[in-house]
Amino acid sequence: MLKVSRSKLDNLLVPIFSIILGFVFGAILMLFFGYNPITAYEAMIMGVFGSPYFLGEALRQATILTFTGLGFAIAFKAGFFNIGVSGQLLAGWVSAIWVALAFPDLPRLVLVPLSIGAGVLFGAIWAGIAGFLRAYFGTSEVIVTIMLNFTALHTTNYIIRNILAVGNTTERISENASLRVGWLTDLTAGSRLNMGFFIAIVVVILYWIFMTHMTAGFEIRAVGLNPFASTYAGMSAKKNIILSMVISGALAGLGGAIHGMGTFGNLFTQNALPNIGFNGIAVALLGLGNPIGIFFSSILFGVLDVGAGFMPNRAGVPDEMASIVIAAIIFFVGANYLIRLVLNKVSTNKAVQNEGGE
C-alpha cells in the first residue's frame, strides 16, 4: 500500500516540477536576452488576476483548452496520438456556425443544441476517419490526422470565401445561437466568458464517470494499455480504436462549436491551424490524462495565454515567451524519467525498488 501512495505522489510531483522547471527555463532565456523575468512574470500574473475582464478571458481560453485537452487525452488513453485535434476543432467550429447562420430565427433552446450538435458531429466524423483507417488498414493515425488538419484548414477557408461569406469573415450569428449570457459578461467586466465554461465543467465530470465507472471506458483503457490481452479477453480492438477517436473528435468539435458560438460569434479564414488545438495536447500531457488534472492545466495555460499579452508593454518581452514556457513544461513532462530519477535519488534512504536486469 505504501508503494501505491508513493507512486501517486510521484504522479503529482512530475507535473509540478515540470511547471517549475518550465518557468525557470523561460526565466533563463529572458535573462540571456537581457529581459527581467520577474517583471515579465509579474506582468503576466498581475495582468490576469488584477482585472475581472482578463480573468474572464483566461477562463474562457481555459474552457476551449479543456475540450481539446480531453479530446486528445481519450485517444491517448486508447493508445493513439491524435495530433489532429486542431483540425477537428475547426470542423466543429465551421459546422456550428454554418447551422447557426442557416437557421438564425429558431428559438434559442433549439438552435443552441442544434448548432453544438453539428459541431460535435463533424468533429467526430473528422477524427473518426483516422480511427477507421487505423482500425481497418493499420494506417498511422499521426500522419492521417496531420493531413486531415491541413485538409480542414483549406476546406474551411474555401467554405467561408465561397459559401458562408463574401470576404474572409462571416456575419455574426444571431442572439439565439450565442452562448454568451449577460450576467457572466457583466461579472467579468465584458469578457467573452460564456456558458461554455459550465459545459466544460459538466463534460469533465462526465468524462471522469465514463472512464472510471463505465464498461466502455474500462475497455478503452484496457485496449490502450494492452491491445493483445484486450482482444484475447473478447474486446474488439477495432471498435475501441474507432470509438475513442470518435469521442476524441467529438470533444474537439464541441470545443470548436463553443469557440464559434461563445468566443467569437462568427468564423473567419485562418492562415494556420488554430494553436488552441495543439495546446490541448500540451494540456492533456501536463494533466497526465486525468480529467481534473486537465481542467487545472487548462486554467494554467489559459492564464499563460492571456497573460502573455501583458508582457510586451509592461516588460518589453515578446508574448511568444508564453508559448516557449508551455513547450518547456511539456518537454519536462515528456522527459519525466529525469524528474523521477532525481526524486528517486532524493529518497534513497527508503528501500529502493528493484529495477530488474535485462
Name which of residues 314 to 333 contact another protein (CB under 8 A).
318, 320-324, 326-328, 330-331, 333
Q: Residue 271 CB, nearest distance to another protein (Å)?
A: 6
* Cα–Cα distance for residue pair 110/288, rounded to 1 Å: 36
Binding string, residues 75-114; x marks residues near another protein by CB under 8 A:
------x-x-------------------------------
Q: Is 338 in the site for another protein (CB under 8 A)?
A: yes
Which amino acid makes up residue 260? G
Which residue number, 15 or 262, has a Cβ lying nearer to another protein? 15
* Cα–Cα distance for residue pair 294/333, rounded to 1 Å: 14
**Secondary structure class of 268 (helix, strand, coil):** strand
- Contact between 188 and 52 under an 8 Å Cβ cutoff? The reply is yes
Q: Which single residue is written with the C-alpha cell 529581459? A: 35
Q: Which single residue is written with the C-alpha cell 476551449? A: 64
Residue among 285, 294, 300, 304 that touches another protein (CB under 8 A): 285
Which residue number, 106 or 237, has a Cβ lying nearer to another protein? 237
* Cα–Cα distance for residue pair 280/101, rounded to 1 Å: 27
Residue among 225, 313, 347, 350 that touches another protein (CB under 8 A): 225
Q: Provide CB contacts within 8 A for 212, sequence distance 6+.
A: none
269: Cα within 13 Å, side-chain hemisphere? 15
The conformational region for residue 140 under phi > 0 = left, psi -120 to 50 = alpha, else beta, is beta
Residue among 335, 342, 347, 350 that touches another protein (CB under 8 A): 335
The total of other beta-carbon atoms located within 10 Å of residue 161's CB is: 13
* Cα–Cα distance for residue pair 57/196, rounded to 1 Å: 12
Q: Residue 181 CB, nearest distance to another protein (Å)?
A: 33
Q: Residue 233 CB, nearest distance to another protein (Å)?
A: 4
Residue among 38, 233, 292, 342 that touches another protein (CB under 8 A): 233
Which residue number, 22 or 119, has a Cβ lying nearer to another protein? 22
Closest by Cα among 231, 317, 269, 349 to 39: 317
**Secondary structure class of 310 (helix, strand, coil):** helix
Which residue number, 133 or 306, has a Cβ lying nearer to another protein? 133
Interactions with another protein, residue window 261-280 (CB under 8 A): 271-272, 278-279
Q: Residue 101 CB, nearest distance to another protein (Å)?
A: 20
Interactions with another protein, residue window 121-140 (CB under 8 A): 133, 137-140
Total chain residues near another protein (CB under 8 A): 75
Q: Residue 234 CB, nearest distance to another protein (Å)?
A: 3
Which residue number, 38 or 341, has a Cβ lying nearer to another protein? 341
- The helix (run of H) or strand (run of E) holding residue 27 is helix 2-32
Binding string, residues 13-52; x marks residues near another protein by CB under 8 A:
--------------------x-------------------
Q: Is 234 in the site for another protein (CB under 8 A)?
A: yes
Cα 176 to the chain's mean position, in Å?
A: 27
